[in-house]
Amino acid sequence: MTTNLHLPTLLWEPIVRTALMEDLGIGGDVTTQALAQPGQQLHAIFRSRQNGVLCGLEGARQAFAILDPSVRFSQIKQDGNQIAQGDVLATVEGNATTLLAGERTALNLLSHLSGIATHTHHIVQAVAGTKARVACTRKTLPGLRSLQKYAVRAGGGSSHRLRLDDAILIKDNHIALCGGNIQKALLSARTYAGHLMKVELEVDTLEQLEEALSGPGADVYLLDNMSVPQLEQAVRMINGRALAEASGGITLKTAPAIAQTGVDVLSLGWLTHSVQALDIGLDIVQS
């Protein structure tokens, strides 16, 4: 179980509101409007249909509360909890038109974020016993970054940069800006950065790493798409002078061997840009 999880309400609310507007359109849920009795009340439960790690309960709660603040939403589980197929996660009670109008938005957020937390947990477990941390990247779905990175934390992972202004990360296109000169790029970055700002350099080859290490150097080296033997050599070359981060095509199967090379961080873009959702349902239990 991951503890100390928190994401301010103000970060959830605009995302949930946008999702509700996208789903309801101008006329609202015409199906429920046609079928529900005036004032009809419902009691429903969120239930997991798969094993996994839970995340996104605040988003689910707001999907109903924004439509009707009188809806009663009760959490049974907490974000970061490991859950099993059949577990009741939360209950919700209120007007039928509200519950059915907010149902899809609630489930979309809960299933997507729980999927991220679950797959992150799997990778974290796969590299247990090594010093490597599992991190997500900026390869997030537009508008969902804060929630997706929160879900990674719920699964036991950590974040790379949240935004472009968090740290300096020199990639191949930035080196091209400097005429292909790695030393020039690092020196310019060091000159620009304040004393609290980290500088990271992406390298594709051991030769690039050697060139970087012979000059002003970086705080972190992103070792992109390197083989396990190359990563082992890179870690020896860095020799504790900076953090070593492995990236590029890392999977659940390959993660253990990569972590055992001695790298400090494994960064995985797919945790946020293309992970499979966890199957969660909302079932009416009484009317």
Phi, psi of 191 (to 5 degrees): -65, -35
pLDDT in tens, 217-247: 999 999 999 999 999 999 999 999 999 999 9
On the question of pLDDT at 3 being above 90, the answer is: no
Percent over 70 (pLDDT), the chain: 98
- Strand pairing of 265-267 and 133-136? parallel
Residue 225 CA to residue 223 CA, distance in Å, equals: 7
Give me the mean pLDDT over the 69-75 stretch: 98
pTM, rounded to two decimals: 0.94
Beta strands in 10-85 (DSSP E): 41-48, 52-53, 72-75, 82-83
pLDDT tens digits along 94-152 = 999 999 999 999 999 999 999 999 999 999 999 999 999 999 999 999 999 999 999 99
The catalytic site residues sit at: 104, 139, 171, 202, 224
